[in-house]
Amino acid sequence: MWRSRIIDTVTPTESPRSIRIEIAVVLVVTFALSGASSVLSLIESAMQPGSLSDQTVAINVTQSNLGIIDLLRQLLGIARLAAWGALGLYLLWRSGIGPKAVGLARAKRKDILHGVLLAAGIGIPGLAFYLVARALGFNATVLPSTVDDYWWRPVTLTLSAVANSFAEEVVVVAYLISRLKALGWSSNKSLAASALLRGSYHLYQGLGGGVGNLVMGLIFGRYFQKTGRLWPLVIAHALIDVVAFVGFSLLRGHVSWLPG
């Protein structure tokens, strides 16, 4: 039997009701509304004629015809993601759980190694699962980036990957699991809630995207519960997204199996 290393902390000024309200507000501000929107997108896609694989969704898109405005809007989106992660860290700190307690104070060599291994273990099967789900009609064709070819595109795509991984792993894993633990939820229930949330806001990609990210959430969440280390998850997620975002932009039109 493994022992969870998640700190179960409730400060004297907190009550279960206040924690529930806090969780609800944080999730609505961050990923819960994205999950609801993704569910609607999936329903809308299912009601369209033809196979889901005939439809296309883009993750990073051009936001203006003017290059400088597009750059500034991309940076604002990156800043918003970073702020979501910072909000989760701040609220954990207010509850008595500092960055060190969730394994974010200082990255260790072991964190980097585990991050690379997790990225390979999740990313490679995840790509294969996406291709199979798309071939079977359970997933839309996902374009990681349709940002115009400016000199700054690789920079903003990399920053977006890092900010996205930071926001998701802090809020969906460290914050949510820790706060549900403080409410007395079991490790399995809090893990399931975290994984379901992660899967929900990827449903805009199709059932394949939702299921794939749910499995990723189960693996990442359990790793965090066992080790109390968040750096490997942030590193792994960032590597997966950098390869997807930047790699797609560089290889699009040159590799036959990538959507054009």
- Residue 235 located in a structural domain: yes
Point out the least confidently predicted range of 92-96, 138-142, 195-199, 219-223: 138-142
Point out the least confidently predicted range of 23-37, 149-163, 192-206, 246-260: 246-260
- Residue 7 located in a structural domain: no
Contact in structure between 88 and 170 (CB atoms under 8 Å): yes
- Residue 222 located in a structural domain: yes
Quick one: which of 117, 91, 116 has its CA closest to 102?
Answer: 91
- Other beta carbons within 10 angstroms of residue 126's beta carbon come to 19
- Residue 164 located in a structural domain: yes
Quick one: which of 135, 142, 149, 183 has its CA closest to 8?
Answer: 183
Q: What DSSP designation does 138 have?
A: S
Q: What DSSP designation does 206 have?
A: B
Contact in structure between 57 and 214 (CB atoms under 8 Å): no
Cα–Cα distance, 209 to 138 (Å, whole number): 9
- Residue 258 located in a structural domain: no
Which helix H or strand E contains 238, and what residues bound it? helix 231-251
Mean pLDDT of 196-215: 94
Confidence of residue 52 (pLDDT cuts 50, 70, 90): confident
Point out the least confidently predicted range of 14-23, 48-57, 69-78: 48-57
- Take residue 186 and report the two structure tokens written for it: 């079991």
Mean pLDDT of 148-154: 86
Instruction: Judge whether residue 248 has pLDDT over 80.
Output: no
- Residue 59 located in a structural domain: yes
Instruction: Judge whether residue 137 has pLDDT over 90.
Output: no
Instruction: Judge whether residue 125 has pLDDT over 50.
Output: yes
Q: What is the pLDDT of residue 1?
A: 45
Instruction: Judge whether residue 80 has pLDDT over 60.
Output: yes
**How many domains, the chain?**
1
Cα–Cα distance, 260 to 62 (Å, whole number): 16
Q: What is the pLDDT of residue 241?
A: 94
- Residue 174 located in a structural domain: yes
- Residue 11 located in a structural domain: no
Confidence of residue 9 (pLDDT cuts 50, 70, 90): low
Q: Give the domain extent around 144.
A: 16-251
Cα–Cα distance, 251 to 29 (Å, whole number): 35
What is the identity of the amino acid at 121?
G
What is the identity of the amino acid at 76?
L
